[in-house]
Amino acid sequence: MRLRVSRYLRPVLLFLFAVFAFFSASSIAVAQSAFGLALICFVILAISERHNPFVGPLRWFYLLVGIYVAWLFLSAAFSDTPLQSMLNLREEWLFLIIPVGIYMFQDERRGDRLILVLMAGVTLASLNGIVQRFTGVDWILGRQLHTVGEDFRSCGFFSYPLTYGNYMATAALFCLGYALSSFGRSRGWRRAFLVTVALLALLATALANSRGPILALGVGLLVFGVVLHKARYALVTLLVAVMVWVAASPDIAAQFRERLRTDVQLENVGGRLFIWNNSLKIIRDHPVTGIGRGNFELEYARLLPDDISDDYKLTHAHCDVLDIAATAGIPGTAFYIALWCFTMVFLWRGIRSKRLSERYRGFCLAAFLASAAFFVTSLTEATFADEEVRQLLMFTWAAGLSGRYEGRAECDL
């Protein structure tokens, strides 16, 4: 009976998880619907195969995730709107992408196919963003694009430029790491495809006209050079990216400098320093359990002048660390940072490990670069609360963390 269930459900799980990976770059509705169905298949398979993902090599990681999520619910319970705050925690289910992904990545052929499917979706998103950048037209959704001065900001298939930029920066570094690590074991069209997708994603991010993603791309390329002990090559790549970016719009650097200048003015209600300063006041007033998820806008509005425009009544702190501290208190931020530290340390050790195969070291490299880019974007935007980008991060973590199970088919109950 077990063999029969596995025989029929594994292909279904692979298909559904592949649909999730492909559409993560274009449609959150399709991606998460597919993952929801994949999760049901995974649970049935886990019961049938007596597979318990929460014990074994990653038990401490899952324990940290459990503590973090439990604290979020505790902070919600002590907020002024407990039920609503708990409902606003629904995106935390995206953590379940990790055990499902790890289960898939333990099979070499399945894992590589899933990454190729993800890269196919990233290719379409890259091409769409590049076309938008130069034409100012969203040919698919037929909507008005945001602008910086006279230059257009790419949205891809998403509704907001920063979501697209943050997704592309994370995807570009993941694709770059995977393309480099698997170049030697790839042949023909596959090798050309890997390189093309990585370059397209890097170009799309550089041309997206969003400061945070461009900064994340630059930092990610530098990390890439440091990790591989080839910093000079990373610097050359970064220089070329900057030249392409400036050549695409000669006055874009001046526009970004002006926006940066206003951002660091404490009296500018739309600047990051103003936002972060008021967020710190919320943290000061609610240091232990925070205000609960979904209550930031109301608390933040109380700190603004009465005649301020609704455009400045923000729903998050434009920084994940501050946003989590405001909504879940300082302990919540401590658990969040601990989770990141555990993941990054493991990925770093995986890159340098002699025990892991070349394939899994490549997964660790790709996930490490993507995580570095994601974390940089989260310093100026609440990227961890952005489901479109968050689901990509969970996919990359699953790929990197799967190396912990190399040589183990499953973990018995």
DSSP string, 219-286: HHHHHHHHHTT-HHHHHHHHHHHHHHHHHH-TTHHHHHHHHHHHHT-TT-TTSHHHHHHHHHHHHHHS
Q: Which residue has the higher pLDDT, 32 or 314?
A: 32
Q: Which residue has the higher pLDDT, 324 or 250?
A: 324
Residue 13 inside a domain? The answer is yes
CB-side neighbour CA atoms (13 Å) of 210: 29
Window from 128-137, 192-201, 215-224, 363-372 with minimum mean pLDDT:
215-224
Window from 40-44, 252-256, 317-321 with minimum mean pLDDT:
252-256
pLDDT band at 306 (very low <50, low <70, confident <90, very high): confident
Residue 413 inside a domain? The answer is no
Helix (H, G, I), strand (E, B) or coil at 146: coil
The pairing of strands 151-152 and 147-148 is: antiparallel
Instruction: Check if the beta carbon of residue 331 is closer than 8 Å to that of residue 317.
Output: no
Would you tell me how many other CB atoms lie within 10 Å of the CB of residue 203? 21
Cα 195 to Cα 124, 184, 225, 320, distances in angstroms: 15, 12, 17, 32
Residue 287 inside a domain? The answer is yes
- Which DSSP state fits 412? B
Residue 122 inside a domain? The answer is yes
Structure tokens at 196: 């093309």
Q: The domain containing residue 225 runs over which residues?
A: 2-405
Structure tokens at 31: 């991606």
Residue 410 inside a domain? The answer is no
Domains identified in the chain, total number: 1
Residue 412 inside a domain? The answer is no
- Residue 251, pLDDT score: 57
Residue 374 inside a domain? The answer is yes
Q: What is the pTM of this model?
A: 0.92
- H helix intervals, 154-230: 161-182, 188-206, 211-227
pLDDT band at 105 (very low <50, low <70, confident <90, very high): very high
Instruction: Look at residue 409 and tell me whether its pLDDT is greater than 50.
Output: no
Instruction: With residue 216 as reference, give the H or E element that holds it.
Output: helix 211-227
Residue 411 inside a domain? The answer is no
Q: How far apart are CA 99 and CA 48, in angstroms?
A: 16
Instruction: Look at residue 331 and tell me whether its pLDDT is greater than 80.
Output: yes
pLDDT band at 413 (very low <50, low <70, confident <90, very high): very low
